[in-house]
Structure 1
């Protein structure tokens, strides 16, 4: 069972990590890059498949050389056997369509696996297009919003439980032939029901920690020539998307407003309690601790 996970590096949007220019635009070069959070669910789906069925797991990303760190992080999550970085200046400024063309060409170069996993959407683009568009280029069956997964290797089929239009209150079970493309939903819940699965997971985790330290030994870097794509169809030149305008991202305040409270002042402390009580009630009503 060969599987592939697509992942991407995105700016670290946590407060204090993001750098803006004077117009309020994101400065990517000065903002740390992290693995796209939604890709973690795709990695978990691939890991479950590997634990249950064995085989080879690869992780692929398209981006600058710095994305090697993202691939290393993904390797530690899914215990991958191979890493692929598709990196070339010709690919810069690609929209989702040009990205899909590039990724699909790279997948065909490596050999189409039994299952390809992608995250729901990226934290920087929020379109959710790249996974389905890559699938379209490869002419594969597509199942989106997947929350549970089961593979029948003998029958060459995959069965998935998915949210209907992303609505957690309504689900359906669908089935299709392999190879197939799976978009994991943030609600995806990996399942390790047997002792054998849990022991396999433990062994893979220990092995991955050792291999991740030397991840470049299993890293393949390809440029546009390696995957045989025409520069006119990738990067900015191959991107049909036209951005009509961009709203500047407001800068966070340099300082927060704070009220100093003397713990010896009973009235002041009571005001803190009064302020916090409604919030505690909301948590209790939601079933929290």
Structure 2
């Protein structure tokens, strides 16, 4: 059972990490890049599949050379090896050109049984790259997946998915393998037997060791390795035209902070008096 998980580097939007210029535009060079949070669910789904059925899990990303760190973060969740698709010809790609590049990378790896992707990215919010990549591969796709089981004998995957527009309604669908799975943020991996729980613990320990030296497990391919025409990838291959970018307004500070040091007895007494009602359950 071979699974490929697609992931992306996004700006670290946690408070204090994002840098904006004076016009309110994001300064990517001054903002740390992290793995897209939604991709964690896809990686956990691939890990669950390996725990139950064995096989191999590959994590793949497209981006600049620095995205190796993002793949290292993915390996901490779980991956056996890493693939980075990177060169200048791929830069500034929209979702369509990205999907073309990713599908070429997947095909170069081989014929995986399952391809996993997160619901959407924290920076683009389009949710298009996964479905477009599935279209390029001509794979059946199941989206908004919250649980899945694989029947290796029948060569099928059965998944529970949230029905669009109604998170209270769940449907069960089946698909032949190979298939493309888009996990929902509500996805929960299930390990019901002691054997599976022990196997998961073992695999997590192994991937933690690999992640410390993730560069040794990283393969980088450029457009020539993937036999891609530069006219059809990157900016040149992107039909999307961005007419303008609106600056992000700076929100006013809503929190007030009072500084207190341990050697200031009066200030610490005020802190204790403020916290006392909450400690009592009020």
TM-score by length of 2: 0.90
d(CA) in 1 for partners of 2:56, 2:89: 30
Q: 1:183, 1:263 → 2: CA distance?
A: 50
Aligned Cα RMSD in Å? 2.3
Q: Distance in 1 between matches of 2:163 and 2:208?
A: 37
For structure 1, the residue ranges without an aligned partner over 5 or more in a row are 282-289
> Which residue of structure 2 aligns with residue 245 of structure 1?
244
Give the corresponding residue for 1:193: 192
Does the aligned pair in 2 maintain the 1:20–1:251 contact within 8 Å? no
Deviation at 1:263, TM superposition (A): 8.4
State which drifts further: 204-213 or 27-36.
Answer: 204-213
Report the alpha carbon displacement of residue 130 of structure 1 after superposing the two structures with TM: 0.3
> CA 1:260 to 1:4, structure 2 compared with 1: closer, same or farther past 3 Å?
closer
Q: How far is the alpha carbon of 1:22 from its aligned partner?
A: 1.6
- Partner residue of 1:66? 66
Question: Which residue number corresponds to residue 125 of structure 2?
Answer: 126
Equivalent in the alignment of 2:263: none
Q: Is the 8 A contact 2:61 2:84 kept in 1?
A: yes
1:106-134: CA deviation from partner (whole Å, max 9, x where unpaired): 11111120000000000000000000000
How many aligned positions are there?
Answer: 272
* Residues 140 and 181, structure 1, Cα contact 8 Å, conserved in 2: yes
Provide the rounded CA distance (Å) in 2 between the counterparts of 1:113 and 1:197.
Answer: 23
The runs of at least 4 aligned residues of structure 1 exceeding 3 Å deviation read 252-265
The match for 1:44 is: 44
**CA distance in structure 1 between the partners assigned to 2:167 and 2:221 by the alignment:** 39
Preserved CA contact (<8 Å) 1:71 1:83? yes
Q: Provide the residue aligned with 1:32 in structure 2.
A: 32
In the TM superposition, 1:139-288 aligns within 5 A as: 139-165=138-164, 167-253=166-252, 256-257=255-256
Structure 1 Cα separation of the partners of residues 111 and 127 of structure 2: 22
**Partner secondary structure for residue 191 of structure 1:** coil
Is the 2:75–2:208 contact (alpha carbons within 8 Å) kept by the matching residues of 1? no
- Measured at CA, do residues 257 and 221 of structure 1 come closer, stay the same or move farther in structure 2, by a change above 3 Å? same
The unaligned stretches of length 5 or more in structure 2 are: 261-266
Deviation at 1:245, TM superposition (A): 2.3
